[in-house]
Structure 1
Amino acid sequence: MDHQVIILIFAGAVLSVSFAQTRQFHFVNTPLNWRDAQSVCRQNYTDLASIEDTADVDAAIVALSNYTGKAWIGLRDVMVNSWRWSLSDSSFYGDGESTFRNWYPGEPNNLNGQQLCVRFYGSVNGLWDDDDCSVALPFVCYQGKLPFRFD
Protein backbone atom coordinates (compact mmCIF):
# COMPACT_ATOMS: atom_id res chain seq x y z
CA MET A 1 0.00 0.00 0.00
CA ASP A 2 2.79 2.44 0.86
CA HIS A 3 4.38 1.94 -2.56
CA GLN A 4 1.09 2.73 -4.31
CA VAL A 5 0.75 6.01 -2.39
CA ILE A 6 4.32 7.03 -3.25
CA ILE A 7 3.79 6.20 -6.93
CA LEU A 8 0.51 8.15 -6.95
CA ILE A 9 2.15 11.21 -5.35
CA PHE A 10 5.08 11.03 -7.77
CA ALA A 11 2.76 10.72 -10.80
CA GLY A 12 0.76 13.72 -9.60
CA ALA A 13 3.92 15.80 -9.23
CA VAL A 14 5.12 14.88 -12.72
CA LEU A 15 1.73 15.72 -14.23
CA SER A 16 1.50 19.09 -12.46
CA VAL A 17 5.00 20.04 -13.65
CA SER A 18 4.28 19.02 -17.24
CA PHE A 19 1.06 21.06 -17.29
CA ALA A 20 2.84 24.11 -15.85
CA GLN A 21 5.60 24.05 -18.49
CA THR A 22 3.77 25.11 -21.61
CA ARG A 23 6.69 26.45 -23.65
CA GLN A 24 10.39 26.26 -24.26
CA PHE A 25 12.46 29.19 -25.52
CA HIS A 26 15.00 28.82 -28.34
CA PHE A 27 17.62 31.39 -29.32
CA VAL A 28 18.34 31.65 -33.05
CA ASN A 29 21.63 33.46 -33.63
CA THR A 30 20.88 34.36 -37.24
CA PRO A 31 20.18 38.07 -37.76
CA LEU A 32 16.88 38.62 -39.58
CA ASN A 33 14.31 41.37 -39.71
CA TRP A 34 11.29 40.91 -37.43
CA ARG A 35 8.94 39.53 -40.12
CA ASP A 36 11.50 36.99 -41.38
CA ALA A 37 12.30 35.97 -37.79
CA GLN A 38 8.58 35.43 -37.21
CA SER A 39 8.42 33.25 -40.31
CA VAL A 40 11.38 31.09 -39.21
CA CYS A 41 9.90 30.66 -35.73
CA ARG A 42 6.51 29.66 -37.16
CA GLN A 43 8.12 27.15 -39.52
CA ASN A 44 10.41 25.53 -36.96
CA TYR A 45 8.81 26.15 -33.57
CA THR A 46 5.50 27.75 -32.58
CA ASP A 47 6.15 31.49 -32.99
CA LEU A 48 8.37 34.34 -31.85
CA ALA A 49 8.61 34.37 -28.06
CA SER A 50 5.66 35.62 -26.04
CA ILE A 51 6.61 36.53 -22.48
CA GLU A 52 3.94 36.31 -19.79
CA ASP A 53 5.82 37.04 -16.58
CA THR A 54 9.21 37.32 -14.91
CA ALA A 55 9.64 33.53 -15.00
CA ASP A 56 9.43 33.70 -18.80
CA VAL A 57 11.92 36.58 -18.80
CA ASP A 58 14.34 34.42 -16.81
CA ALA A 59 13.78 31.43 -19.14
CA ALA A 60 14.44 33.60 -22.20
CA ILE A 61 17.66 34.92 -20.63
CA VAL A 62 18.78 31.31 -20.09
CA ALA A 63 17.96 30.51 -23.73
CA LEU A 64 20.22 33.36 -24.87
CA SER A 65 23.02 31.70 -22.90
CA ASN A 66 26.20 33.77 -23.40
CA TYR A 67 24.75 36.12 -26.03
CA THR A 68 24.79 39.66 -24.62
CA GLY A 69 23.19 41.56 -27.48
CA LYS A 70 19.60 42.23 -28.39
CA ALA A 71 17.15 39.78 -29.92
CA TRP A 72 13.64 40.02 -31.38
CA ILE A 73 10.67 38.74 -29.40
CA GLY A 74 7.09 38.46 -30.64
CA LEU A 75 5.68 41.80 -29.46
CA ARG A 76 4.71 44.35 -32.11
CA ASP A 77 2.82 47.64 -32.19
CA VAL A 78 -0.09 47.13 -34.60
CA MET A 79 -1.44 50.67 -34.08
CA VAL A 80 -0.27 53.56 -31.94
CA ASN A 81 0.49 52.06 -28.51
CA SER A 82 -1.44 48.90 -29.32
CA TRP A 83 1.12 46.20 -28.55
CA ARG A 84 0.16 42.66 -29.57
CA TRP A 85 1.93 39.32 -29.46
CA SER A 86 2.75 37.57 -32.71
CA LEU A 87 0.61 34.54 -31.92
CA SER A 88 -2.99 35.62 -32.35
CA ASP A 89 -4.64 32.60 -30.67
CA SER A 90 -5.98 34.19 -27.46
CA SER A 91 -6.74 30.79 -25.90
CA PHE A 92 -2.98 30.18 -25.72
CA TYR A 93 -2.22 33.03 -23.34
CA GLY A 94 -2.25 32.97 -19.57
CA ASP A 95 -3.93 35.53 -17.34
CA GLY A 96 -1.24 38.23 -17.40
CA GLU A 97 0.34 37.63 -20.75
CA SER A 98 -1.55 40.20 -22.76
CA THR A 99 -0.68 42.94 -20.25
CA PHE A 100 2.79 41.99 -18.95
CA ARG A 101 5.48 44.41 -20.15
CA ASN A 102 9.16 44.65 -19.22
CA TRP A 103 10.20 47.94 -20.84
CA TYR A 104 13.59 49.53 -20.35
CA PRO A 105 13.11 52.96 -18.68
CA GLY A 106 11.96 55.52 -21.26
CA GLU A 107 10.70 52.86 -23.66
CA PRO A 108 8.82 52.42 -25.86
CA ASN A 109 9.63 55.72 -27.53
CA ASN A 110 8.85 55.01 -31.22
CA LEU A 111 11.89 57.02 -32.31
CA ASN A 112 11.24 58.68 -35.70
CA GLY A 113 7.85 56.95 -35.84
CA GLN A 114 9.46 53.74 -37.11
CA GLN A 115 9.91 51.56 -34.02
CA LEU A 116 7.06 49.07 -34.06
CA CYS A 117 8.81 45.83 -33.03
CA VAL A 118 10.29 44.77 -29.69
CA ARG A 119 13.74 43.50 -28.89
CA PHE A 120 14.89 41.75 -25.73
CA TYR A 121 18.08 42.68 -23.82
CA GLY A 122 19.48 39.42 -22.49
CA SER A 123 22.30 41.24 -20.73
CA VAL A 124 20.07 43.85 -19.03
CA ASN A 125 17.71 41.69 -16.97
CA GLY A 126 15.60 40.89 -20.01
CA LEU A 127 14.31 44.43 -20.42
CA TRP A 128 12.71 45.45 -23.72
CA ASP A 129 12.80 48.35 -26.13
CA ASP A 130 11.20 49.14 -29.45
CA ASP A 131 13.11 49.22 -32.73
CA ASP A 132 12.58 49.43 -36.47
CA CYS A 133 11.22 46.07 -37.66
CA SER A 134 13.58 46.07 -40.67
CA VAL A 135 16.70 45.84 -38.47
CA ALA A 136 18.38 42.41 -38.66
CA LEU A 137 18.76 40.84 -35.21
CA PRO A 138 18.99 37.34 -33.76
CA PHE A 139 15.68 36.27 -32.21
CA VAL A 140 13.96 34.17 -29.57
CA CYS A 141 11.35 31.58 -30.58
CA TYR A 142 9.33 29.34 -28.39
CA GLN A 143 8.04 25.84 -28.76
CA GLY A 144 4.71 25.86 -27.03
CA LYS A 145 1.55 23.96 -26.53
CA LEU A 146 -1.84 25.01 -25.35
CA PRO A 147 -2.07 24.79 -21.57
CA PHE A 148 -4.11 21.95 -20.14
CA ARG A 149 -7.52 23.20 -19.06
CA PHE A 150 -10.37 21.61 -17.11
CA ASP A 151 -13.33 23.05 -19.03
Structure 2
Amino acid sequence: MGAIKSLLALNADRAHDELWIGLRHGGAERWHWSLADKDFYQEGERNYRNFRNNGGRFAAQRNIQWDLKTGGTFWFVCYDGNRQGGDRYVLVRLSTTWTNAQSYCRSHHTDLVSIRNSTENQAVAEATVGLTVWIGLFKDAWYWSDGRYSSLRLWDQHAVGGNFPQSCAVMTSHLSGRWSQRSCDELHPFLCTCTRKWVLKVKVRSEDRQELNDPAMKTAILKQTQQLLNVASLSDHHKIAWKTNSDGQVFTKEQCPEEDGDI
Protein backbone atom coordinates (compact mmCIF):
# COMPACT_ATOMS: atom_id res chain seq x y z
CA MET A 1 0.00 0.00 0.00
CA GLY A 2 3.05 2.25 0.16
CA ALA A 3 2.72 3.02 -3.55
CA ILE A 4 -0.85 4.25 -3.04
CA LYS A 5 0.32 6.66 -0.33
CA SER A 6 3.03 7.97 -2.65
CA LEU A 7 0.51 8.56 -5.44
CA LEU A 8 -1.87 10.35 -3.09
CA ALA A 9 1.00 12.60 -2.01
CA LEU A 10 1.39 13.75 -5.63
CA ASN A 11 -2.19 15.02 -5.42
CA ALA A 12 -2.07 16.19 -1.80
CA ASP A 13 -4.09 19.33 -2.50
CA ARG A 14 -6.78 17.17 -4.15
CA ALA A 15 -6.85 19.46 -7.13
CA HIS A 16 -8.08 16.43 -9.08
CA ASP A 17 -10.33 13.97 -7.30
CA GLU A 18 -10.10 11.23 -9.94
CA LEU A 19 -6.91 10.22 -11.74
CA TRP A 20 -6.52 7.53 -14.42
CA ILE A 21 -4.37 4.55 -13.46
CA GLY A 22 -3.14 1.88 -15.89
CA LEU A 23 -5.81 -0.76 -15.16
CA ARG A 24 -8.23 -1.73 -17.91
CA HIS A 25 -10.91 -4.37 -18.28
CA GLY A 26 -10.59 -6.76 -21.23
CA GLY A 27 -9.25 -10.10 -22.38
CA ALA A 28 -9.54 -13.49 -20.72
CA GLU A 29 -10.41 -13.79 -17.03
CA ARG A 30 -7.65 -15.01 -14.71
CA TRP A 31 -7.54 -16.25 -11.11
CA HIS A 32 -5.74 -14.11 -8.53
CA TRP A 33 -5.09 -14.20 -4.81
CA SER A 34 -6.18 -11.09 -2.91
CA LEU A 35 -2.83 -10.94 -1.07
CA ALA A 36 -0.66 -9.45 -3.82
CA ASP A 37 2.80 -9.53 -2.16
CA LYS A 38 4.94 -11.45 -4.67
CA ASP A 39 7.46 -12.43 -1.98
CA PHE A 40 4.71 -14.36 -0.16
CA TYR A 41 4.62 -17.00 -2.91
CA GLN A 42 7.29 -19.42 -4.03
CA GLU A 43 7.34 -20.78 -7.59
CA GLY A 44 4.04 -22.45 -8.47
CA GLU A 45 2.27 -21.53 -5.22
CA ARG A 46 0.03 -18.92 -6.82
CA ASN A 47 -1.43 -21.67 -8.99
CA TYR A 48 -2.49 -24.15 -6.30
CA ARG A 49 -6.18 -25.01 -6.81
CA ASN A 50 -8.65 -27.52 -5.35
CA PHE A 51 -11.92 -26.70 -7.14
CA ARG A 52 -15.03 -28.80 -6.68
CA ASN A 53 -17.06 -27.03 -9.39
CA ASN A 54 -16.85 -24.35 -12.08
CA GLY A 55 -18.72 -21.19 -12.92
CA GLY A 56 -18.13 -18.54 -10.23
CA ARG A 57 -15.85 -15.55 -9.70
CA PHE A 58 -15.09 -16.05 -5.99
CA ALA A 59 -13.81 -19.11 -4.15
CA ALA A 60 -15.22 -20.49 -0.90
CA GLN A 61 -13.76 -23.48 0.92
CA ARG A 62 -15.92 -26.28 2.32
CA ASN A 63 -13.93 -29.05 4.02
CA ILE A 64 -10.85 -29.30 1.77
CA GLN A 65 -12.49 -28.48 -1.57
CA TRP A 66 -13.35 -25.10 -3.03
CA ASP A 67 -16.74 -24.06 -4.36
CA LEU A 68 -16.95 -21.26 -6.91
CA LYS A 69 -19.59 -18.62 -6.21
CA THR A 70 -21.04 -15.72 -8.17
CA GLY A 71 -22.14 -14.04 -4.92
CA GLY A 72 -23.77 -14.74 -1.58
CA THR A 73 -22.81 -14.18 2.04
CA PHE A 74 -20.62 -16.49 4.13
CA TRP A 75 -18.24 -16.46 7.06
CA PHE A 76 -14.60 -16.01 6.00
CA VAL A 77 -10.97 -16.68 6.92
CA CYS A 78 -8.39 -13.92 7.26
CA TYR A 79 -4.62 -14.37 7.14
CA ASP A 80 -2.63 -12.51 9.82
CA GLY A 81 1.08 -12.23 9.03
CA ASN A 82 1.86 -11.05 12.57
CA ARG A 83 0.84 -14.40 14.07
CA GLN A 84 2.49 -17.83 14.02
CA GLY A 85 1.36 -21.33 13.11
CA GLY A 86 -2.34 -22.07 12.98
CA ASP A 87 -3.12 -18.75 14.69
CA ARG A 88 -2.40 -17.06 11.34
CA TYR A 89 -5.77 -18.33 10.09
CA VAL A 90 -8.53 -16.28 11.69
CA LEU A 91 -12.12 -17.50 11.26
CA VAL A 92 -14.47 -14.50 11.26
CA ARG A 93 -18.02 -15.45 12.24
CA LEU A 94 -19.65 -12.72 10.19
CA SER A 95 -21.81 -13.56 7.17
CA THR A 96 -20.98 -11.10 4.40
CA THR A 97 -20.02 -10.76 0.73
CA TRP A 98 -16.56 -11.62 -0.60
CA THR A 99 -15.73 -7.93 -1.19
CA ASN A 100 -16.73 -6.92 2.33
CA ALA A 101 -14.78 -9.86 3.74
CA GLN A 102 -11.69 -8.65 1.87
CA SER A 103 -12.07 -5.13 3.29
CA TYR A 104 -12.50 -6.49 6.83
CA CYS A 105 -9.39 -8.69 6.63
CA ARG A 106 -7.28 -5.85 5.23
CA SER A 107 -8.45 -3.53 8.01
CA HIS A 108 -8.09 -5.94 10.95
CA HIS A 109 -5.44 -8.46 9.84
CA THR A 110 -3.38 -8.81 6.63
CA ASP A 111 -5.77 -10.01 3.92
CA LEU A 112 -8.18 -12.78 3.02
CA VAL A 113 -6.37 -16.09 3.33
CA SER A 114 -4.23 -17.42 0.46
CA ILE A 115 -3.84 -21.20 0.20
CA ARG A 116 -0.52 -22.07 -1.41
CA ASN A 117 -0.35 -25.87 -1.03
CA SER A 118 -2.18 -28.94 0.27
CA THR A 119 -0.75 -28.53 3.78
CA GLU A 120 -2.20 -25.04 4.12
CA ASN A 121 -5.44 -26.20 2.55
CA GLN A 122 -5.78 -28.85 5.26
CA ALA A 123 -4.91 -26.34 8.00
CA VAL A 124 -7.59 -23.89 6.85
CA ALA A 125 -10.14 -26.72 6.58
CA GLU A 126 -9.40 -27.73 10.19
CA ALA A 127 -9.83 -24.13 11.34
CA THR A 128 -13.28 -23.90 9.71
CA VAL A 129 -14.69 -27.28 10.89
CA GLY A 130 -16.67 -28.05 7.73
CA LEU A 131 -18.19 -24.59 7.23
CA THR A 132 -18.40 -22.85 3.87
CA VAL A 133 -16.09 -19.81 4.13
CA TRP A 134 -14.70 -17.23 1.74
CA ILE A 135 -10.99 -17.52 0.88
CA GLY A 136 -8.89 -14.96 -0.98
CA LEU A 137 -9.18 -16.33 -4.55
CA PHE A 138 -11.06 -14.31 -7.16
CA LYS A 139 -11.29 -14.12 -10.95
CA ASP A 140 -11.38 -11.04 -13.14
CA ALA A 141 -10.37 -9.70 -16.55
CA TRP A 142 -8.49 -6.56 -15.46
CA TYR A 143 -5.01 -6.00 -16.90
CA TRP A 144 -2.25 -3.44 -16.29
CA SER A 145 -1.33 -1.44 -19.38
CA ASP A 146 2.42 -1.98 -18.89
CA GLY A 147 1.92 -5.76 -19.06
CA ARG A 148 3.10 -6.31 -15.51
CA TYR A 149 1.32 -8.94 -13.41
CA SER A 150 -0.19 -7.74 -10.16
CA SER A 151 -3.23 -9.09 -8.34
CA LEU A 152 -3.55 -5.93 -6.24
CA ARG A 153 -7.12 -4.61 -6.35
CA LEU A 154 -8.18 -1.66 -4.21
CA TRP A 155 -11.75 -1.12 -5.37
CA ASP A 156 -14.18 1.02 -3.48
CA GLN A 157 -16.82 -1.50 -2.39
CA HIS A 158 -19.60 0.53 -4.05
CA ALA A 159 -17.78 1.01 -7.35
CA VAL A 160 -17.48 -2.46 -8.89
CA GLY A 161 -21.09 -3.38 -9.51
CA GLY A 162 -21.52 -1.93 -12.99
CA ASN A 163 -19.69 -2.83 -16.19
CA PHE A 164 -19.09 -0.42 -19.05
CA PRO A 165 -18.52 -1.44 -22.69
CA GLN A 166 -14.96 -0.24 -22.17
CA SER A 167 -14.06 -0.07 -18.50
CA CYS A 168 -11.01 1.68 -17.11
CA ALA A 169 -10.00 2.54 -13.55
CA VAL A 170 -9.46 5.78 -11.66
CA MET A 171 -7.84 6.38 -8.28
CA THR A 172 -10.19 8.50 -6.17
CA SER A 173 -8.66 10.93 -3.68
CA HIS A 174 -11.71 11.41 -1.46
CA LEU A 175 -11.91 7.60 -1.05
CA SER A 176 -8.33 7.43 0.31
CA GLY A 177 -6.98 6.30 -3.04
CA ARG A 178 -9.48 3.50 -3.65
CA TRP A 179 -10.37 2.71 -7.24
CA SER A 180 -13.57 3.15 -9.22
CA GLN A 181 -14.66 2.02 -12.70
CA ARG A 182 -15.14 4.65 -15.36
CA SER A 183 -15.82 4.60 -19.09
CA CYS A 184 -12.51 4.87 -20.93
CA ASP A 185 -13.98 7.74 -22.98
CA GLU A 186 -14.16 10.06 -19.96
CA LEU A 187 -11.57 12.80 -19.53
CA HIS A 188 -9.41 12.78 -16.38
CA PRO A 189 -5.83 13.71 -15.47
CA PHE A 190 -3.54 10.68 -15.37
CA LEU A 191 -0.46 9.23 -13.71
CA CYS A 192 2.54 7.87 -15.63
CA THR A 193 5.20 5.38 -14.59
CA CYS A 194 8.77 6.62 -15.03
CA THR A 195 11.59 4.09 -15.06
CA ARG A 196 15.00 5.21 -13.84
CA LYS A 197 18.02 2.95 -13.48
CA TRP A 198 20.64 3.45 -10.79
CA VAL A 199 23.96 1.64 -10.48
CA LEU A 200 24.95 0.87 -6.91
CA LYS A 201 28.52 -0.31 -6.39
CA VAL A 202 28.97 -2.78 -3.54
CA LYS A 203 32.31 -3.63 -1.97
CA VAL A 204 32.64 -6.91 -0.10
CA ARG A 205 35.73 -8.12 1.73
CA SER A 206 36.61 -11.74 0.98
CA GLU A 207 39.65 -13.92 0.43
CA ASP A 208 38.03 -15.81 -2.43
CA ARG A 209 36.58 -14.05 -5.49
CA GLN A 210 35.08 -17.30 -6.78
CA GLU A 211 33.17 -17.73 -3.53
CA LEU A 212 31.52 -14.33 -4.00
CA ASN A 213 30.62 -15.19 -7.59
CA ASP A 214 29.00 -18.44 -6.56
CA PRO A 215 25.31 -18.24 -7.58
CA ALA A 216 24.09 -19.07 -4.06
CA MET A 217 26.30 -16.36 -2.53
CA LYS A 218 25.18 -13.75 -5.07
CA THR A 219 21.55 -14.62 -4.39
CA ALA A 220 22.08 -14.31 -0.62
CA ILE A 221 23.72 -10.87 -0.92
CA LEU A 222 21.00 -9.67 -3.28
CA LYS A 223 18.32 -10.90 -0.89
CA GLN A 224 19.88 -9.00 2.02
CA THR A 225 19.97 -5.84 -0.09
CA GLN A 226 16.32 -6.28 -1.02
CA GLN A 227 15.43 -6.66 2.66
CA LEU A 228 17.05 -3.30 3.35
CA LEU A 229 14.85 -1.76 0.67
CA ASN A 230 11.81 -3.44 2.22
CA VAL A 231 12.60 -1.88 5.60
CA ALA A 232 12.82 1.50 3.90
CA SER A 233 9.42 0.86 2.23
CA LEU A 234 11.03 1.03 -1.21
CA SER A 235 10.33 -2.51 -2.41
CA ASP A 236 7.24 -1.48 -4.38
CA HIS A 237 9.30 1.00 -6.39
CA HIS A 238 12.66 -0.71 -6.90
CA LYS A 239 13.83 -3.93 -8.50
CA ILE A 240 17.45 -4.93 -8.07
CA ALA A 241 19.66 -7.25 -10.10
CA TRP A 242 23.38 -7.84 -10.49
CA LYS A 243 25.24 -6.15 -13.34
CA THR A 244 27.87 -8.46 -14.83
CA ASN A 245 31.32 -7.41 -16.01
CA SER A 246 32.83 -8.14 -19.43
CA ASP A 247 34.10 -11.50 -18.12
CA GLY A 248 30.60 -12.52 -17.09
CA GLN A 249 31.37 -12.18 -13.37
CA VAL A 250 29.79 -9.81 -10.86
CA PHE A 251 32.64 -9.40 -8.36
CA THR A 252 36.20 -8.46 -9.31
CA LYS A 253 39.31 -8.08 -7.17
CA GLU A 254 40.50 -4.63 -6.15
CA GLN A 255 43.64 -3.86 -4.19
CA CYS A 256 42.81 -1.99 -1.01
CA PRO A 257 44.93 1.21 -1.03
CA GLU A 258 45.46 1.51 2.70
CA GLU A 259 46.35 -2.07 3.52
CA ASP A 260 47.42 -5.30 1.94
CA GLY A 261 44.38 -7.41 1.16
CA ASP A 262 41.70 -8.06 -1.40
CA ILE A 263 38.28 -6.50 -1.60
Which residues of 2 match residues 116-135 of structure 1 at below 5 A?
116-135=167-186
Between the aligned partners of 1:127 and 1:148, the Cα distance in structure 2 is 29
Note if contact 1:76-1:86 (Cα within 8 Å) is conserved in structure 2.
yes
Change (3 A) 1:64 1:128: same
Note if contact 1:110-1:131 (Cα within 8 Å) is conserved in structure 2.
no
Question: Which residue identity is paired with 1:123?
Answer: H
Aligned position for 1:15: none
Between the aligned partners of 2:162 and 2:195, the Cα distance in structure 1 is 30
TM-score by length of 1: 0.52
Which residues of 2 match residues 4-83 of structure 1 at below 5 A?
54-67=1-14, 68-79=16-27, 81-83=140-142
- Report Cα offsets for 1:36-91 as digits up to 9, x if no partner: xxxxxxxxxxxxxxxxxx10110010011212510100011113631111101x4x
Between the aligned partners of 1:138 and 1:86, the Cα distance in structure 2 is 16
- Report Cα offsets for 1:80-137 as digits up to 9, x if no partner: 631111101x4xx6xxxx11111001332234x3351000012221000111000000
Question: Which residue identity is paired with 2:7?
Answer: A
Structure of greater Rg: 2
Residue 150 of structure 1 deviates from its aligned partner by: 4.8
Note if contact 1:117-1:133 (Cα within 8 Å) is conserved in structure 2.
yes
Aligned position for 1:149: 241
Aligned position for 1:101: 153
Q: Which has the higher helix share?
A: 1
Deviation >3 Å, runs of 4+: none
Where structure 1 has 5 or more consecutive residues not aligned to the other structure, the ranges are: 1-53
Between the aligned partners of 2:7 and 2:24, the Cα distance in structure 1 is 18
Indicate the SS of the match to 2:182.
strand
Aligned position for 2:97: none
TM-score by length of 2: 0.31
- Report Cα offsets for 1:128-149 as digits up to 9, x if no partner: 0111000000111121347212
Change (3 A) 1:127 1:115: farther
Where structure 2 has 5 or more consecutive residues not aligned to the other structure, the ranges are: 30-139, 197-237, 244-263
Indicate the SS of the match to 1:74.
strand
Larger RCO (CA under 8 A, 6+ residues apart): 1
- Percent identity, aligned pairs only? 22
Q: Which has the higher strand share?
A: 1
Does residue 138 of the first structure (1) align with residue 182 of the second (2)?
Answer: no
